[in-house]
Structure 1
Amino acid sequence: MSERVILHSDINCCYASIEHLHHPELAGKPLAVGGDPEARHGIVLTADYIAKRYGVKTGMALWQAKEVCPEITFISPRMDLYLRFSRMAHEIYSEYTDKQEPYGIDECWLDVTGSTTLKGDGMLIAKEISNRMKSELGITVSIGVSFNKIFAKLGSDYKKPDAITTMYKSEFKQKAWSLPVGDLLYVGRSTNKKLQRIGVKTIGDLAKMDVSILHSHLGKMGDILWSFANGYDDSPVKLENTHAPIKSVGNSTTTPKDLECDEDVKIVIYILAESVAARLRENGFKCRVVEISVRDNELFSFTRQKKIDHATNITGEIAAYAFQIFTENYNWSKPIRSIGVRGSDLVTDNYWEQIDLFSSVEMREKQMKMDAAVDDIRRRFGFYSIQRGLMYQDKVLSAVNAKEDHTVHPHGFFG
């Protein structure tokens, strides 16, 4: 059996790079994406390389970033725009393989083994993809070329930006073993501390460590990391269209007045569910978990979630599940000031699943067509051009336009 050829492509400073394309006036100036620049709160999601040289880091508060880099420009995130670029990147990848496994919006593993007879070796394919990303999308990628996913990912991290690094069997010990153990995929902060305590500082130290000692300190994860360090990862790259590149789509709002009864909550939940469901449809996703967050007027808050029977992006279903979760978990000891709805555990909207005997496929199809028609009307004539009858019960609460204030949550690395 011939050796696999696995690439890991990582869009350099993804959000910031895309924003630079849309803000040519900021060329050569430090830029960061994150938070709310007007309200001056929130954190940095991505900084460009100029800002990084000043010490701006992901997760840093905006005011901290401003302290280390006074000339920085902050831009609010536009996740729909970044998802569009992600989809265009996957269209390029699809010309080389159908085995694409997204790792967040900006990263993806590609098994191009089947393309090497036509396109050349992994390095040639990586160069072609890199050139196309620059010429067709205007952004750069760093690509790792290896025989498995773990070292392909390590290769794309090895040198940035706009670089290609090989991690073949004949060279991974020379290139990878001298790197800090924290660079290895799935070695998070906590695991790194445990490894440091037993003298494992590099990936090579991990590879050479007695696996029984690792197991005694880390359990099964010790065995897995030892295998990764020694190049024994044989996990497959999953077929395209089976994983969503983001973790959840959610909206929350602080209401114009305190909510004091179930009917008040139902109005706001339906508004939020309309926004969440519309965003899911717009970006080609369905959710398998519905979650709500509630905060009362004394700032006590909680979240609850429910695994649902069928993946869905139907507004009525998401709203009904969210309202059910609420009524089962809130006893009205205090009025409510803020509420949120989120769809998570996402799959793409061509996800196949078995329908049970008691579900009405025809009814669900009618609901989906109705939602699509509402989306089209609102796209053409504005959000308020078509409303649910429920919204006319309270004009103050129904004036919330959550669709324009949505949140899309990208995958975390160690989620």
Structure 2
Amino acid sequence: MERTILHVDMNNFYASVECLDNPALRGKPVAVCGDPAARHGIVLAKSYEAKAYGVTTGQPIWQAKQRCPDLLVVPPHYDRYLEVSAAARELYISYTDRVEPFGLDECWLDVTGSQQLFGPGPVIADDIRGRVRLELGLTVSVGVSFNKVFAKLGSDLKKPDATTVITQDNYRDLAWRQPVSDLLYVGPATTAKLARYGIKTIGDLARMNVHGLHSLFGKVGVMLWQFANGQDNSGVATYTALPLIKTVGNSTTAPRDLVTDEDVKITLYALCDSVAARLREQNAMCSTVQIGIRDTSLLWYERQSKLTYPAQNSTDIFNAAFDLFQENRPRNPVRSLSVRACGLSPAGPVQLSLLPDEQRSQRLTDLERTMDKIREKYGRNAVRRAVSLVDPALDLDAEAEHIIHPIGFLGTLN
């Protein structure tokens, strides 16, 4: 039996919620932007009216206002977005328990077994669009297809408030003519590399020799070729299933450029403290530490290294992160940093060790568990590292911005 997969995408989600909550914004060019004072002053979302002026996501505010002098800039309200996102998912699960979120504003739904109750996939898609519009006051675009990749592509083809059906019979006509950048997991760097080999559309990719793609791109090349040819058998997760945690990370754009090692240490310690705290909360240990560095030229790169033994304390994670930074120091001052703990495994019971380094690591972990309890009772600033006092402007509340990376779509592919 052929599967019926929907991909529901809430149109211009952040901006739409702001216009819903403030009717005075409706019909006007609106951009939801980060805080310029904290150097987060970029466009996070925009209304269709702003898009018509050439305002794009990721644009600096000053550039967006050059494109649209009458642009209305509003700050994000994440708690409200979470509330609306949860309400939308409650609506989706009234059709099926196979609902897999892909960010706050997108979900896949497997309605294969629901069609006897609610009708064919396109009928369910139209019903969802109508209910979201009526019950939540927002619009969604829905892609209907026989796999997740083409369902997502379909939801991108017509916006706003539209249903697009991609079938086994029409995907060559609908999907293959689209830019290759529209395919899931084809980002700017991959798009540029594909273009060097004359691959500009999804059809170009589909018609390539798969062995040649493997030699150029490795397993990713084969995966993208399968996507382009409709060969995606990944399932839609059950909504109630708890996602397995694959990595725990955190990142920040510093309030000023990080010039000295001391500047970097202050920021790295804050990030590592938050990552280690979340590891302990998840009862997990990491075997690999990864850092990301963006300098003032906006060059971004990531590096990682294996730990000698798994850890869940901030000191071991920081030492690995700072070593990586020193080995891969950029020429320009640093604008933003990220730290990610990878290769997670359950912590399990503590096993006594005779090795000095492991004993030290266990003592540090015990100490930080005590600090967790103090902070939980008296607040984050009840116990602070002395390094954070060197320049209070660089100290950040990293624990408020945890990033957990579950095993997602790529983890389901063979």
Same fold at TM > 0.5? yes
Q: What secondary structure is seen at the aligned counterpart in 2 of 1:109?
A: strand
Aligned to 1:75: 74
2:383 aligned partner, one-letter code: R
1:250 aligned partner, one-letter code: S
Q: State how many pairs are aligned.
A: 387
Q: Distance in 2 between matches of 1:191 and 1:268?
A: 31
Aligned to 1:334: none
Q: What secondary structure is seen at the aligned counterpart in 2 of 1:165?
A: strand
Q: Distance in 1 between matches of 2:284 and 2:198?
A: 45
Q: What secondary structure is seen at the aligned counterpart in 1 of 2:160?
A: coil
* Mapped contact 2:249–2:339 kept (Cα < 8 A): yes
| More off after superposition, 31-40 vs 368-377 | 368-377
1:4 aligned partner, one-letter code: R
Aligned to 1:36: 35
- Structure 1 residues 376, 79: CA separation in 2 closer, same or farther (over 3 Å shift)? farther
- Structure 1 residues 357, 138: CA separation in 2 closer, same or farther (over 3 Å shift)? same
Aligned to 2:185: 186
Q: Distance in 1 between matches of 2:221 and 2:293?
A: 39
Q: What secondary structure is seen at the aligned counterpart in 1 of 2:108?
A: strand
Aligned to 1:250: 251
Q: Distance in 2 between matches of 1:223 and 1:170?
A: 23
Q: What secondary structure is seen at the aligned counterpart in 1 of 2:142?
A: strand
**2:242 maps to 1:241:** yes
Deviation at 1:68, TM superposition (A): 0.8
Deviation at 1:183, TM superposition (A): 2.1
Q: Distance in 2 between matches of 1:210 and 1:244?
A: 35
RMSD of aligned C-alpha atoms?
5.2
TM-score where L is the length of structure 1: 0.69
Aligned to 2:396: 402
Deviation at 1:207, TM superposition (A): 3.2
* Mapped contact 2:141–2:161 kept (Cα < 8 A): yes
Q: What secondary structure is seen at the aligned counterpart in 1 of 2:397?
A: helix
Aligned to 2:137: 138
Q: Distance in 2 between matches of 1:30 and 1:366?
A: 52
TM-score where L is the length of structure 2: 0.69
* 1:100-249 alignment, distance < 5 Å: 100-196=99-195, 198-212=197-211, 214-215=213-214, 217-239=216-238, 240-242=241-243, 248-249=249-250
Q: Distance in 2 between matches of 1:34 and 1:217?
A: 38
Deviation at 1:278, TM superposition (A): 8.2
Spell out, residue by residue over 1:302-361, the C-alpha distance to the aligned partner (whole angstroms, 9 max, x if none): 98767788897xxxx446633675589779xxxxx99988564699xxx994725629xx
| More off after superposition, 65-74 vs 223-232 | 223-232
**2:383 maps to 1:388:** yes
* Mapped contact 1:290–1:342 kept (Cα < 8 A): no
Q: Distance in 2 between matches of 1:63 and 1:370?
A: 42
* Mapped contact 2:39–2:254 kept (Cα < 8 A): no
- Structure 1 residues 56, 345: CA separation in 2 closer, same or farther (over 3 Å shift)? farther
- Structure 1 residues 243, 28: CA separation in 2 closer, same or farther (over 3 Å shift)? farther
* Mapped contact 1:290–1:318 kept (Cα < 8 A): no
Q: What secondary structure is seen at the aligned counterpart in 2 of 1:127?
A: helix
| More off after superposition, 28-37 vs 128-137 | 128-137
Deviation at 1:275, TM superposition (A): 6.1
Deviation at 1:222, TM superposition (A): 4.2
Q: What secondary structure is seen at the aligned counterpart in 1 of 2:31?
A: strand
- Structure 1 residues 328, 6: CA separation in 2 closer, same or farther (over 3 Å shift)? closer
Q: What secondary structure is seen at the aligned counterpart in 2 of 1:45?
A: strand
Q: Point out where structure 1 has 5 or more consecutive residues left out of the alignment.
A: 296-300, 332-336
* Mapped contact 2:37–2:255 kept (Cα < 8 A): no
**2:313 maps to 1:321:** no
Deviation at 1:66, TM superposition (A): 0.8
- Structure 1 residues 142, 344: CA separation in 2 closer, same or farther (over 3 Å shift)? farther
